[in-house]
Structure 1
Amino acid sequence: MRRWVGATGAGLALLMAVTACSESVDGQAEEATFSVGAGPTPSLDRFYGQTIRWESCAAYADQEVTGYPEDRSDCATITVPVDYENPDGDAADIAIFRVRASGDKVGSLLMNPGGPGASGVEFMAGQAQSFGSLDLGKRFDLIGFDPRGIGRSTPQIRCFTAQERDEARAETLVDMSPAGIAKIEAENRADADKCAQRVGTDFLAHVGTVDVVKDMDVLRAALGDDKLNYLGYSYGTKIGSAYAEQFPTKVRAMVNDGAVDPSANPVDENIRQLAGFQSTFDAFAADCINRGDCALGDDPAAATTRFQELTRPLIDKPAPTSDGRPLSYGDAMTGAGQAMYSDALWEPLRDALTELAGGRGDTLLRLADLYEGRDAAGYYTNSTDAFTAIRCVDDPRLTDQAEIDRLDVEGRRAAPFTDDGRGTGKGARDVCAFWPVPPTSAPHDLNIPNLPTTVVISTTNDPATPYQAGVDLAAQLGARLITFEGAQHTASLEGHDCVDDAVTEYFVNLTLPDEGLKC
């Protein structure tokens, strides 16, 4: 998924033919011949030619929780250089989850669920049973991977302890007076410093998308595929377009679903995202009111105001929960934002608002925990730490005070349901303004003349990655656009036959969707 911004305020490739030995699931060596794009120097050959040693997934994912089919699933790690300009330096391990094709195999299909910061291993483990039963699962090895620094890949991006995360979530920082802004910025600077100390700047400097796609090309080669098949969701579309830009002749088929526009100004992108969340909130509110007995009242036009009346008091008085952690205003907004990603979460949000009207915050806190990657025992995944670290090297630093102020003012206007009511027309520099390493990417238009025709899917009422971003990405890539009419984030392989049939036919047979296809 594409994480939301939350409440307002708060060379040519050197081609070589090599023979590699990869290990099958029964431990017998199987020969695989493939062409390698060996990168800028021959010193990368040892990474491109490495053997993948598959093993049980027991140490990678909880089978009882995810239900992945053990007889078709296996896992491994591959090794990549932390710095591709210094391949003899430090290395990182990338974790991989594979669901083996059950029929006549076309190749491997790499998938990424987004974030940035989401675990592709956990994603594939959780979806293995359903994806494996699809036609795609019969014709492709389905591959989930944890990008560098994320999930079970090592080293990890882990900046804060669980206690520190809990404490930060309990604190509400909405004072936009000069003193309040100074406090927010001091905390952001301290957080950046702490992350640098605990993770190290050498690694933090190489966690961005430009390095992730190099890892993905190493993975492609190690899997034995001459060319890449890829399905990326949300931020995963940024990985997809960046891979296409760096390795255009290595793309066989690519679908980008829930697009991030690589040319977008980050401030404008955030404002558009906030507007998308407001649109989805309005749809939720109308549904809630239409069903009756809704905590937002009985007038859709007044639903935003009623939501503010329910949530703003949490700034000064958090709501109690049976967990023992009070529901803060920030967590309430995070929980509500989590529910905007899918209408399957509208019922829990409806219940949560009724509960909040009665003075308690249990359900909203659970929704916030879901977004933050916290389990019932208090353990956090590193998705949030990774999100920040990757965003801070992927996007230009926002230090122009006029632009900071514009984001605050226009963001409140775009999504009034997130407005805490404490705006002063001024904004605070975020943690990326103080990040210890410089950005490694910048917004730009794509121009990739050697790229085969790919596919982009964009949803009309997607809150996190607005529809126009998909239109714009498709134009830049020269891709076929599938429009999905709905109010959700991403649409492929979710049971929508019109979308899924087109995606499957494209990946299996390279048959492009009809021009202007709407589902």
Structure 2
Amino acid sequence: MTATRARRPLRARRGLAAAGVLAAALVLTGCVPSFLFPQNPERTSTPVDEDVDAALAPFYGQVLSWEDCEDVEGMLCATATAPLDWDDPAAGSVDLALVRQPASGDKLGSLLVNPGGPGGSGFDFVADSIDYAVGEPLQQRYDIVGFDPRGVGRSSAIACLDAAAMDDYLYGLAENPRGTDGWIAEVEQNVGEFGAACAENSGDLLGHVDTVSAARDLDLLRAVLGDEKLNYLGYSYGTFLGATYAGLYPEKVGRLVLDGAIDPAASDFDVTSAQAQGFEQALSAYLEDCLGRDDCPFPASGGVDGALADVRALLDSVDASPLRGSDGRELGADALLTAIIYPLYSPDAWSYLDDLFTSVEQGEADFALALADAYNGRDPDGTYADNSTEAFKAINCLDYPAGSTDPAEMRAQNAELEAAAPIIGTYMGFGALACAGWPDEPTGLREEIHANGADPILVIGTTGDPATPYQWAVSLADQLDSGVLVSYDGEGHTAYNKGSDCVNGVVESYFLDGDVPGSDPNC
């Protein structure tokens, strides 16, 4: 299978993962002193009484049995069961993996956390990096619950390709020039083969990993955890999951924080265009910072515009003549763009771009491949740490209505992308091909969510967020009848628990005391 990828919206990752050369600097740890935990944490969860259809009663009435996690010290693990098809509860079930850190003080309730994606593991997020996921004041008063949504990780999970085939899918190169009819045919064949593998290895689950189904799972988890209303902290894609929940169950919204918001009304192309512009703006911010240093790999004489032109020339160069890594893989423009984008999620990681651009300019591919591997969840031994790539595609292909794959229309859209983001836009184009011929028809609608009747919902937007641009938070807060915008003037993806005392104070006062800002605090 010749692997060629058209760009669908890039997954939004909450934090930088550790892989290969990044391990020492970027690994996140979840070590928590044992004295912070109650001596006798609850080992069962008593579900609340819910008025649901008889067919759903066994699911809503299940009692969770919590056991010490095998590989996570100080936390408890459990598995919940949800209907495979919420419209036909008798058609089978899926497992949902949960991890819980009990509140260390007087408990207010459970706080469910989702790190983003789609395809990100909430279980790993809480188990491996609890202090990064949630601030200590919230850990005192809430049971912090991480969960893997359906299709993801330890839950009933999507499976598609083995490691070698995934390498080919993610890093393989096209035989035809980008954008030509031959290239389009290669992409369509590649996506079709990927989808067929997912259908063969995932079965009926593949058609039931949409966000609406995951939001209904979220309501089930709320009930079996014993909470009358949902308390939820969602990052990035997790904001779309949380907003979808609010739209379905406005009367059951407790305290919801949606950080790094996605606009639920934005089309696939709208998302791609906004992300292309967002990452290009973040790249400009990095270059402006870089050019003020003596060790910057770009000449100061050309300014930011000159450095941006150099980056585009580098992308064009490896697109025409890929570089070969020491393991035999080749670095093309798609993998290089992934390597560039990954450190742009956080200014703390911008220094990796210095080494990236220096090494590629010298004809070396290994460092760029390591960065791309970290984004793609590929370990140094060639295996993949999780199924986030498969889940990302499967969920998106259900959530987004199919776009036109007419070559003329796609080329016109690609011209729009390049005009909006001249450096990277063309390398994020042809996104409609990403789900062409997918085995299951999309079920999602891109439309506004109002959640009429819901309690106040905090929506956080960062002005320099490249993955979920600030205007999406403005839009979502405006759509939600009870939305409250919290703006953070800064760079990077998401804002809570990342150094802003203002944002942290607003979020924690809301979760702990129900305090809602009377106006945007403009942190």
Equivalent pair of 1:280/1:463 in contact (CA under 8 Å): yes
Change (3 A) 1:180 1:129: closer
Q: CA deviation at 1:367?
A: 1.2
Equivalent pair of 2:344/2:350 in contact (CA under 8 Å): yes
User: What secondary structure sits across from 2:117 in the alignment?
Assistant: coil
- The yes-or-no answer on 1:328 pairing with 2:332 is yes
Which AA in structure 1 matches 2:400? Answer: D
Q: CA deviation at 1:25?
A: 8.9
Q: CA deviation at 1:440?
A: 1.5
- The yes-or-no answer on 1:398 pairing with 2:403 is yes
User: What secondary structure sits across from 1:486 in the alignment?
Assistant: strand
Equivalent pair of 2:121/2:153 in contact (CA under 8 Å): yes
User: What secondary structure sits across from 2:350 in the alignment?
Assistant: helix
Map of 1:225-374 to 2, 5 A cutoff? Answer: 225-298=227-300, 299-374=303-378
Q: CA deviation at 1:493?
A: 1.6
Q: CA deviation at 1:445?
A: 1.7
Q: CA deviation at 1:175?
A: 2.4
Structure 1, unmatched stretches of 5+, are 7-23, 64-69
Q: Which moved more, 1:293-302 or 1:233-242?
A: 293-302
The counterpart of 1:385, out of the listed 373, 387, 390, is: 390
Which AA in structure 1 matches 2:375? Answer: Y
Change (3 A) 1:205 1:31: closer
Q: CA deviation at 1:265?
A: 2.2
Taking the aligned partners of 2:464 and 2:400, their CA distance within structure 1 comes to 25
Taking the aligned partners of 1:130 and 1:176, their CA distance within structure 2 comes to 41
Which AA in structure 1 matches 2:417? Answer: G
Provide Cα deviations, 1:122-142, integer angstroms capped at 9, x if missing partner: 111122245576110000011
* Counterpart in the other structure of 2:225: 223
Taking the aligned partners of 1:428 and 1:222, their CA distance within structure 2 comes to 39
The counterpart of 1:210, out of the listed 204, 209, 212, is: 212
* Counterpart in the other structure of 1:511: 515
User: What secondary structure sits across from 2:254 in the alignment?
Assistant: strand
Taking the aligned partners of 1:504 and 1:78, their CA distance within structure 2 comes to 28
Provide Cα deviations, 1:172-229, integer angstroms capped at 9, x if missing partner: 33522222222222222222222222222x2221100010011111111111111100
User: What secondary structure sits across from 1:294 in the alignment?
Assistant: coil
User: What secondary structure sits across from 1:225 in the alignment?
Assistant: coil
Which AA in structure 1 matches 2:413? Answer: L
TM-score w.r.t. the length of structure 2 is 0.87
- The yes-or-no answer on 1:32 pairing with 2:46 is yes
User: What secondary structure sits across from 2:292 in the alignment?
Assistant: helix
* Counterpart in the other structure of 2:440: 437
Map of 1:36-185 to 2, 5 A cutoff? Answer: 36=50, 38=52, 41-58=53-70, 63=72, 70-71=73-74, 73-129=75-131, 134-154=136-156, 156-173=157-174, 174-185=177-188
Q: CA deviation at 1:27?
A: 8.9
Q: CA deviation at 1:318?
A: 2.8
User: What secondary structure sits across from 2:64 in the alignment?
Assistant: coil
Which AA in structure 1 matches 2:420? Answer: A
User: Percent identity of the aligned residues?
Assistant: 39
Which AA in structure 1 matches 2:396? Answer: R
* Counterpart in the other structure of 2:32: none
Taking the aligned partners of 1:494 and 1:342, their CA distance within structure 2 comes to 10
The counterpart of 1:418, out of the listed 420, 424, 432, is: 424
Change (3 A) 1:3 1:126: farther
Q: CA deviation at 1:420?
A: 6.0
The counterpart of 1:481, out of the listed 476, 482, 485, is: 485
Taking the aligned partners of 1:34 and 1:359, their CA distance within structure 2 comes to 61
Provide Cα deviations, 1:245-286, integer angstroms capped at 9, x if missing partner: 111111111011111111112212211111111100100111
Taking the aligned partners of 2:513 and 2:125, their CA distance within structure 1 comes to 26
Taking the aligned partners of 2:431 and 2:463, their CA distance within structure 1 comes to 32
Taking the aligned partners of 1:76 and 1:332, their CA distance within structure 2 comes to 40
Change (3 A) 1:403 1:5: farther
User: What secondary structure sits across from 1:232 in the alignment?
Assistant: strand
Change (3 A) 1:472 1:124: same
Change (3 A) 1:113 1:36: same
Change (3 A) 1:100 1:215: same
TM-score w.r.t. the length of structure 1 is 0.88
Q: CA deviation at 1:26?
A: 6.0
Change (3 A) 1:29 1:130: closer
